Amino acid sequence: MTASERIARAEEILLAEHRKSLRDASAYELHSALSKACMLEIAPAWRATEARRAEGKRAVYLSAEYLMGRLVFNNLYCMDILDQAREMLLEKGVDLALLEEVEDTALGNGGLGRLAACYLDSAATHDLPLDGYGLRYRFGLFKQKIENCRQVEVPDDWTRYGDPWSVRRDELAVVVPMKTGDVRAVPYDMPVIGYKSGKISTLRLWQAESLQELDFRLFNEQKYRLAASRKNQAEDITKVLYPNDTLKAGKQMRIKQQYMLVSASLQDMLRQLDAMGQPLEKFPDLFQAQLNDTHPSMGIPEWIRLAEARGVSFDQALDLAKRIFSYTNHTVMPEALERWDMDVLSSVQPEIARNLRRIDEACRRECGLGIVEDHQAHMARLAVYGSHHVNGVAEIHSELVKKTVFREWYEKFPEKFVNVTNGITQRRFLGLCNPELTVLIKSRIGDGFLTDLPQLKNLLPHIDGMKEEFLQVKHEKKRRFAAFLKGHAGVEISPDWIFDVQVKRLHEYKRQFLNALSILDLANGVRDGSIRDFYPTVFLFGAKSAPGYVRAKSIIYLINCVAEKINADEQLREVMQVVFVPNYNCTVAEKIIPAADLSEQISPAGTEASGTSNMKLMLNGAPTLGTYDGANVEIVAEAGMENNFIFGARVEELQALRDYNPRAIYEAEPRIRKVVDTLVDGTFPDPDGGLRELWEALLNGASWHRPDHHFLLKDFLSYQEARLTANRAYRDRQHWAEMCLKNVANAGKFSSDRAVEEYARIIWDL
């Protein structure tokens, strides 16, 4: 199909649905018409891919979230028609940039969901039989607003103008049984288009609906709210991603979500098995199910329920489960490992609670280890026991998985444990979001790196001749981000300053708190003259906190208070600016990552499983300012310690610090004491006591945590030294460009193409 034929088809759709021309259409009308035209074009290839995969072994990705971002540009890019579409529309007086107004597909939060999206992209590009299952959240996570320095959550109604990239499949709906009432799970299929491959994977998203739309008897009795209550209760299940679960009702809602995901997905796979005419015993030879973290681990007891309903014994069902499921672990922090109270589980799905107890008994008989302890179901233990492989997501993380959190399990089942380092899709996070850098790379080594990222190594001999062009590209991306930020948040920044970037979900272990305290210390140094010739820097943050995560929200408040104070100071604003970018999402990431000069990856060693923002920033030419943690270790191994800025205690040192006393550091270091005390000395207003709680958490401990649980004060001075080293290094523009380009050239390992191939070979046996 030619470009003009595609645009003509979009025009026909616009006329039929809205009675408008291209020039008259709104952003959402144009988006709908163009998307539907593309859906018509890809339909034969999508159907062919689906039919071919139905004949053989395939893998499915089970994930609570998929951070798909804005689909239209990515899909046009993967179809290799983005530039053509842009040119054809311009000829008709329409700027494709109008579609920047369109909402992101709000089905994810952070790295977990983006990883899932990247893996589906890579599988489609390289024709690996992998499809995804998830939930179709009505309001996604939330839209973040900043009011009075605080995060405010508002619903993200991403489908209010339609969802042209999804196909509702009523004929494939299934019933999910729950104690509170059965629910109808309706699938919506979303295409994941392979880059120039003609292959299309499917992301099947389940939407919860009621079996009964309206109770007419109650309605006729004028009990209107009761008449619709069952419908509303069912639909609530897929209203919001990660609902606040501080109370029992929230916990029940999360369990309902997780159970619906796995029950509907397994029922769907069993339907496909039946269509192939294969017995249940053949299921592991035809389907491999990857658990993306513990959210879908309820699939193991649900599989047993479904298998027993087909006449299989418990022991046979459990044996089959161990051949079907594999588990990706994303954390070694004990407090982050999911646990559910058995009574709460029973209140949602008593059969699942019963099967969990039976699995626990079988596990104890087999290896002496338990899954249910103190009336709590440990979902990570369930995932380890019920899977044939358990993988970490970076080399250091996989070793910690074996040595710490799952040490006893590793001793019993060493053959299960493997490593697959995370990866990102270079199509979206280089080709699409940084076309200028992509063109520069193509001019030296061709375009093979877009499907074979290790080809970037071929850049190494060309670096000396690319530096000036690279600096020009980087400045242009900074200029464009500055323009975006002015429109997005009303904030003006200079593209001539260093862009120091920390973008990731807000969590204490990610240490945005350390970054904020560090900025205060830098400000003190600039004021008193102990820091001289500080290269002007914009400190950029992007992060959302879970709605019920009180300390994380206090850190957001602190960052915005620091921003207000520094940005209003006449002396400081000549060399420093702090900006919290509101509503950080995939689309914002695609704008800020190419513009970044410095990549902040500062979690304490041994806490970040891998990270993927570090890879995206590396690929776009930002050296890492980070700890020896997660994939940072491998980034340094690939690109060289000399081309990054590594600081802080190593994991072995932190593990040995049994008597760590942050108060001793606080009392011995006046600089540290001064910035820490800003939390309680009236520097910033603290009407709800959130800043004092942060102070208490550092020095006295809070909740069940020991003081300074994430070693902020331990790493503080080392961080400052590395930060100032990076600031000085930036002045030598040619050497800085060389560091950046060596990071780009050595980013080949971090493609999701490599990661998915490893899953297929090592774990799924495809």
**Active site residues per annotation:** 330, 504-505, 510, 612, 616
Residues β-bridged to residue 207: 186
The distance of Cα 739 from the centroid of its chain, to the nearest Å, equals 27
CB atoms within 10 A of CB 618: 28
In the structure encoding, which two tokens stand for residue 656, read together?
């040995």
Q: How many CA atoms lie within 13 A of 367 on its CB side?
A: 17
Task: Report the alpha-carbon distance of residue 195 to residue 82 in Å, rounded.
Answer: 12
Of 157, 187, 160, 182, residue with least CA distance to 172: 187
Residues β-bridged to residue 243: none
Q: Using DSSP bridges, classify how beta strands 376-378 and 339-341 pair: parallel, antiparallel or unpaired.
A: antiparallel
Task: Report the alpha-carbon distance of residue 185 to residue 207 in Å, rounded.
Answer: 5
Measured CA distances, 358 to 42, 326, 353, 371, 380 (Å): 46, 20, 9, 10, 16
Amino acid at 14: L
Residue 371 · residue 381 · CB < 8 Å: yes
Task: Report the alpha-carbon distance of residue 176 to residue 166 in Å, rounded.
Answer: 22
CB atoms within 10 A of CB 16: 9
Task: Report the alpha-carbon distance of residue 122 to residue 323 in Å, rounded.
Answer: 24
Name the helix (H) or strand (E) containing 131. strand 130-135
Residue 186 · residue 209 · CB < 8 Å: yes
Residue 578 · residue 519 · CB < 8 Å: yes
**Cα-based angle 418, 429, 557 (whole degrees, multiple of 5):** 90
Q: How many CA atoms lie within 13 A of 428 on its CB side?
A: 35
| φ and ψ at residue 328, rounded to 5 degrees | -100, 120
In the structure encoding, which two tokens stand for residue 197, read together?
């491959």
Task: Report the alpha-carbon distance of residue 142 to residue 52 in Å, rounded.
Answer: 38
In the structure encoding, which two tokens stand for residue 18, read together?
């809205």
Amino acid at 581: V
Task: Report the alpha-carbon distance of residue 76 to residue 174 in Å, rounded.
Answer: 33
DSSP state of 315: H
Of 351, 325, 185, residue with least CA distance to 264: 185
Amino acid at 722: A
Q: What is the DSSP string of 656-721?
A: T-TT--HHHHHHH-HHHHHHHHTTTSSSS--TTSHHHHHHHHHHT--TTPPTTTT-HHHHHHHHHH
* Gyration radius of the chain over CA positions: 26
